[in-house]
Amino acid sequence: MRIATTIAAAREHLAACARPVGFVPTMGALHAGHIALLAAARAACASVVASLFVNPMQFAPNEDFSRYPRDAQGDREQFERAGVDVLFAPDANEMYPPDFSTYVEVGSIGASFEGALRPAHFRGVATVVAKLLNVIAPDVLYLGQKDAQQTAVLRKLVADLAFNVRVEIVPTVREGDGVALSSRNQYLNERERSEAPSLHRALQTVESALRSGAAKETALERGASALSPLAVLDYLDVVDADTFAPSDGLKAPAYIIGAARFGTTRLIDNLRVER
């Protein structure tokens, strides 16, 4: 595995890569969800490129940027084992030199749900991913379904700005009790971790209520009551999978989305509804 810490070195390594190139952007703290993305890229592409960059621009000042889990050495070993050909691991100065001043505004698709609770988040995600796509110029971009709104925002980025890349969404990997894998799960204490599966249960409850013919509002009420009373619900809704506009869940494809706080840790999750 070649490791590039500068844009120039990444481009040099990329020039030697066989096509198609599959690209998996990450912020490190790798778990089985990331490994599934890397495996999907490895299976379909001649070369696999990953990035490791904890992007300060997508964290608000009160969020967890400084304590976001970092394990550069462990991550590097996992990237290597997953068959990554080139790892792009820039520092913040390489991505955002002091005179950096150009940002990608994502519009209404990123204004609701995660975007409403984390106002500059998707601007930071779209800006860094646009820059990463320009550095790597991959043929396929692999994203995890767990961050469903992020996938919708980035699909729109690719379409609106005509990036020459195909976007592949890889299904969420879950623990045995249903909890979606996330680097932030390690913030949960034992009690919070034991309550965390209730977010997935809430989504499943909404899905089965909708499938049995309940109206959306009733289905959402039943879902909310499946959440642990110790958790604080940020939102639970059904949205169109492409636009993230509210949906009644009866038109395909949709996501049932939820976010809840367990102590100080926010978890998000979703189920895709195909009709």
Q: Choose between 17 and 52: whose C-beta lies nearer to ligand PAF.
A: 52
Cα separation, 144 vs 172, in Å, equals: 6
Tell which residue, 231, 274, 229, 233, has the closest CA to residue 256: 274
* Cα(20)–Cα(2) distance, integer angstroms: 17
Q: Nearest-CA neighbor of 126 among 115, 116, 112?
A: 115
Candidates 21-29, 109-117, 134-142, 251-259; binding stretch for ligand PAF (CB under 6 A): 21-29
Question: Taking CB under 6 A as the rule, does residue 27 contact ligand PAF?
Answer: yes
Cis peptide before 25 (omega within 30 of 0): no
Taking the C-alpha atoms of residue 50 and residue 26, their distance in angstroms, rounded to an integer, is: 7
247 is an interface residue for ligand PAF by CB under 6 A: no
Which one of residues 4, 10, 21, 25 is an interface residue with ligand PAF (CB under 6 A)? 25
Active-site annotation holds for 34? yes
In this structure, how many other beta carbons lie within 10 angstroms of the beta carbon of residue 115? 21
Beta carbon nearer to ligand PAF, 168 or 221: 168
| Binding residues for ligand PAF, total number by CB under 6 A | 10
CB of 28 to ligand PAF, least distance (A): 8
Q: Spell out, one character per residue from 133 to 172, where the chain touches ligand PAF: x when CB under 6 A holds, - when not.
A: --------------x--x----------------------
Give yes or no for a contact between 20 and 104, defined as CB atoms under 8 angstroms apart.
no
Footprint of ligand PAF on residues 74-133 (CB under 6 A)?
Answer: 125, 128-129
Residue count of the chain, please give it: 275
Q: At its nearest, how many Å lie between ligand PAF and the CB of residue 124?
A: 8
Round to whole Å and give the CA distance between 22 and 140: 5
Q: For ligand PAF, give the closer residue by CB, 47 or 51.
A: 51
Binding site for ligand PAF (CB under 6 A): 25-27, 55, 58, 125, 128-129, 147, 150
Tell me the catalytic residues: 34
